Amino acid sequence: MSETFQELADIPKDFVREGTLFIRRCTKPDKREFIKISQAVGMGFLVMGAIGYFVKLIHIPVNQVLVGGA
């Protein structure tokens, strides 16, 4: 019983310890790295937007034909 309780008590301690180690290792990105990340995210937005636009462009006319323009 005591061993099980000790294992349960260690879980939050381990979480806090690992979290503080992670935060200490994190660094703020420099300007070049930030620009690279921003470009990647921007390209992702553009690609996903284009895919969504083309799906809607194809889906709406096909849906109108199938449903009959209700």
Q: Check if the beta carbon of residue 29 is closer than 8 Å to that of residue 37.
A: yes
Q: Could you read off the pLDDT of 31-44 as tens digits, one per residue?
A: 999 999 999 999 99
Q: Could you read off the pLDDT of 12-33 as tens digits, one per residue?
A: 899 999 999 999 999 999 999 9
- What are the sequence ranges of the domains in the chain? 1-69
Nearest to 1 by CA among 9, 14, 11, 13: 9
Provide the terminal-to-terminal Cα distance of the chain, rounded to the nearest Å. 67
Q: Which amino acid is at 64?
A: Q
